[in-house]
Amino acid sequence: MKVFFIDTNIFLQCRDLQQLPWSDIGEKEEHIQLLVPRAVQREIDRQKGDGNGRRSKRARKVNSLLRNILLPGSTFSISRQGPSVEMALATSLEREYLPANALDTLDLSQMDDSIIAEVLSFRQKNSGVDVAILSGDIGILATAHSHGILCFEVPDTWLLEPEPDVRDKKIAELQEELRMLQSRYPVIEMHAEDACGNQRECFSVQVTRYRELTEDEIDGLVAEVKERYPMKEFPVQNPPESRISQEYPSTIAGQLALLGAGTRALIEAATREIPPSKEAIDKYQNHEYPAWIEKVKGYARSLPKELEEPSRKSSLVLIVSNDGSVPAENTLVDLSIHGDAVFINSKLDNVNHNLAFPSPPAPPMPTSQYSALVKGTRLFDDPHFRGFGAFDNLRTLDSLLQRPDRNDFHFKGGEPRKLEKQRVLECEEFRHQTYARFQETLFIFPAGQDSLTISCTVSASNLPRPVDTHIKLDITYVDGDTLAEIRRRVFTSRDG
């Protein structure tokens, strides 16, 4: 059997005695006896009335336990598995069993020294008993070691979690109060996402810049275009007269004779080829073809901007969620750009970036009297000659009076303008445990900036304070080959 004198911290700072793994200090022992020194009994009695904290509560619990073993010889069984463990009260200090010089180094008015004295007295009286002291206090263990007493330090795994101090308790109370308050308000969260749905705080945008061509480069390009698509020349010639026109002159008598000539003569007259008129040739050579050359020049001047503009547009996806227990009332989502960029209204951004090279004009072709007649009959294909069309495009009164859903977001003040640096969306009742997804398109001005920021603010009438976040766009630039792009569109695409 091994006897342990136990310190106060075994009761107040460790788990319950029944929960402790006693094999940690007595693996080879079959039986362990715990003795509670008188000094520890007095300390427990003092601690039980010291407020209502964890130490005083545990002291009161231990005091009730010790009351059950007050009678001499009484024990309390703690464990029957592994080493069997029982606890008893130590007897009062018997000074006659103290070593001769013990009182020279021990102050019995001090609790630690008083425990050491009791251990020395017990060991002297029970010389055949293996006795030790068990404590988590370094001071008493050091004193015991100096008096040749076997020492065991309380393992860290036996200790309770540290008790919260007054400050910790106050923080916990405030956190609980905050949680209760937050349950009465909406909880707004927001973040930006990339094309794969990953949350991002910073995005990278690459803009391809195309320089404007010089006038010399444009003139050289036009010369190549004229060589590739030359203007058609028309030889000067008199239209040959057919046999019909010779036999049946265009007099009244001749035409009456033609009518009596039969079907063959009529078909020959109707299918007779008519060369392009001087007016048609003049229109083609002096107006249409020169106008097309000017279009080619305009195309060469405008294409760099048209090529660059798509890369200056960047899409932003913002997710706003209400994770609270109540709806957010009269919610506003304010998006503002800080930098040289604007929001684009995608519904109004209907500019068709036609990067195709303008086709050259078709030269006038010979015609016939028959084709002229057919062309005249197509007059009636004009919709103006066919009455009114369907009324599909007319808006009904119901659509004009329809109000937006109170649970959906819409632009404040109606449809935004095409270009704006700020977007404000509103929702009358943003339901709890839901989210809204906003996708906006930005146009970055060609100012050479390397970054810009978008601030996002969500406010509501029942939200204690607005929620803010900022999204950064880092912009890098690469240079495209303007002349090569124009040549590819002017020549390669048409040659293919």
Please state the three-class secondary structure of 255-282 as a single string.
HHHHHCCCHHHHHHHHCCEECCCHHHHH
Domain that residue 282 falls in:
188-233+267-370+405-492
Nearest 5°: phi and psi at 222?
Answer: -65, -40
Furthest C-alpha separation in the chain: 169
For residue 247, tell me if it sits in a domain.
Answer: no
Q: Which of 17-31, 202-216, 434-448, 466-480 has the lowest mean pLDDT?
A: 434-448
Is residue 97 located within the same domain as residue 206? no
Secondary structure element (H or E) that encloses residue 86, with its range: strand 84-89
Characterize the bridge pairing of strands 328-338 and 367-368: unpaired
Per-residue pLDDT averaged across 367-376, rounded? 57
At 320, which CATH number?
A: 2.60.40.10
- Which residues partner with 467 through β-bridges? 458
Contact 208, 307 (CB under 8 A): yes
pLDDT at position 396 is 43
Whether 334 has a pLDDT exceeding 80, the answer reads yes
pTM of the model: 0.53
For residue 131, tell me if it sits in a domain.
Answer: yes
**Length of the chain, please?**
496
pLDDT at position 402 is 59
pLDDT at position 245 is 57
pLDDT at position 273 is 72
Residue scoring higher pLDDT (440 or 492): 440
Is residue 229 located within the same domain as residue 337? yes
CB atoms within 10 A of CB 321: 19
Nearest to 295 by CA among 351, 354, 350, 352: 354
For residue 86, tell me if it sits in a domain.
Answer: yes
Q: Which of 9-23, 232-246, 358-372 has the lowest mean pLDDT?
A: 232-246
Residue scoring higher pLDDT (400 or 110): 110
264 falls in which pLDDT band (50, 70, 90)? low
Whether 403 has a pLDDT exceeding 70, the answer reads no
Is residue 26 located within the same domain as residue 106? yes
Per-residue pLDDT averaged across 467-481, rounded? 93
> What percentage of residues in the chain have a pLDDT greater than 90?
50
Per-residue pLDDT averaged across 44-71, rounded? 87
Q: Which residue bears the tokens 């005083």?
A: 56
> What percentage of residues in the chain have a pLDDT greater than 70?
82
Cα–Cα separations (whole angstroms), residue 135 to 108, 138, 408:
18, 8, 67
Whether 415 has a pLDDT exceeding 70, the answer reads yes
Q: Which of 44-48, 139-143, 396-400, 471-475 has the lowest mean pLDDT?
A: 396-400
pLDDT at position 400 is 44
Q: Which residue bears the tokens 């425990």?
A: 115
DSSP letter assigned to residue 345: -
Cα–Cα separations (whole angstroms), residue 452 to 63, 139, 458, 470:
70, 63, 20, 10
3-state secondary structure of 8: helix
Nearest to 85 by CA among 15, 14, 4: 4
Q: Residue 208 and residue 212: Cα distance in Å, rounded?
A: 13
pLDDT at position 441 is 84
Q: How many domains does the chain have?
A: 2
Is residue 213 located within the same domain as residue 108? no
pLDDT at position 386 is 46
Structural tokens at position 190: 């927001």
Is residue 285 located within the same domain as residue 207? yes
For residue 389, tell me if it sits in a domain.
Answer: no
Is residue 223 located within the same domain as residue 117? no
Whether 387 has a pLDDT exceeding 80, the answer reads no
Q: Residue 50 and residue 60: Cα distance in Å, rounded?
A: 10
291 falls in which pLDDT band (50, 70, 90)? very high
